[in-house]
Amino acid sequence: MSVAVVTGANRGIGLALTQQLTARGMHVVAACRRGSEALAKTGAEVVTCDVTDDASVAGLAEQLGGRRIGLLVNNAGILARDRLGSIDFQSVRSQLEVNALGPLRVTEALGDNLDEGSVVGIVTSRMGSIADNTSGGAYGYRMSKAAVNAAGASLARDLAPRGVAVVLLHPGWVKTDMTRGSGNWSADEAAAGLIARLDETTLANTGRFVHADGTPLPW
């Protein structure tokens, strides 16, 4: 059975991804800091993993062992609403740790489990787009998502010779804890869109930055 790994799988978009991927018959390794009742019901293999922690991510790699990963979705993320004049730099650092370094740390640690035909998705945000920034603010979030976009572009190039494709995904404005329940899409609808984009990711389009609805996004 093909193995999928999803980070931040206990709630929100990560939980919806895990539910939909298990429902289609994939074996999902659900990486999260703590489990949840809803996650337990999916039947996924739950592994404790904090994406900011080297030892914790090494533990995830150890749990995977030699198993091939067909799909790796780096989904874990945090948002703080930093405003100019009251920026908390520790919070900016935390967002960089989770949103930018987390996906890079996890993808590097699981690199040996990826091979020809594997797909790596990074759930970033259009707020990481410099071209699309018309409203300012959200310093740590925007910086961290722009940084992970840069990492994703390099991963696409570095992993292509091994047959591994990469996609940078914006899930839409989604009703989760992160948005305090506001948004246009449910987590289920966002996950369905993300999975459709992951399904169409190949070496021919590797490295693109795309909305869950399929719209290409500017960097």
What is d(CA 3, CA 131) in angstroms, rounded to the nearest whole number? 36
Residue 78 near ligand NAP by CB under 6 A = yes
Which residue from 18, 75, 113, 118 is in contact with ligand NAP, where contact means CB under 6 A?
Answer: 75
Residue 88 in the binding site for ligand NAP (CB under 6 A)? no
One residue of 45, 59, 183, 186 binding ligand NAP per CB under 6 A: 183
User: Exactly one of 87, 101, 178, 192 binds ligand NAP (CB under 6 A); which one?
Assistant: 178
Q: Is 139 a catalytic residue?
A: no
Q: Contact region for ligand NAP (CB under 6 A) — 60-68, 168-176, 192-200, 207-215?
A: 168-176
Name the residue with tokens 């995977």.
64
Candidates 51, 110, 164, 217: give the one binding ligand NAP (CB under 6 A): 51
Residue showing tokens 């992951």: 198
152 CB-near residues (< 8 Å, 6+ apart):
103, 122, 124, 166, 167, 168, 207, 209
Q: In the bound complex, what is the minimum distance in angstroms from residue 66's beta carbon to ligand NAP? A: 24
Only segment of 11-19, 132-140, 200-208, 210-218 that touches ligand NAP (CB under 6 A): 11-19
Q: Where are the alpha helices (DSSP H) in the chain?
A: 12-23, 37-42, 54-64, 89-95, 102-109, 139-159, 187-199
Q: What distances in angstroms separate CA 168 from CA 105, 117, 188, 206, one per listed residue? A: 16, 17, 19, 9
Instruction: Point out the catalytic residue in the list 46, 82, 141, 166.
Output: 141
- Give just the sign of the alpha carbon dihedral 177, 183, 187, 191: negative
Is 165 in contact with 119 (CB distance < 8 Å)?
yes
Is 176 a binder of ligand NAP (CB under 6 A)? yes
Stretch that binds ligand NAP, among 12-20, 37-45, 85-93, 201-209 (CB under 6 A): 12-20
When asked if residue 179 is in the footprint of ligand NAP (CB under 6 A), the reply is yes
Q: Does 111 bind ligand NAP (CB under 6 A)?
A: no
CB 57 within 8 A of CB 51: yes
Task: Give the residue with the Cβ less far from ligand NAP, 150 or 178.
Answer: 178
Looking at residue 32, its amino acid is C
Binding site for ligand NAP (CB under 6 A): 7-8, 10-14, 32-34, 50-52, 75-79, 98, 123, 125, 170-171, 173-174, 176-179, 183
- Supply the residues annotated as catalytic: 141
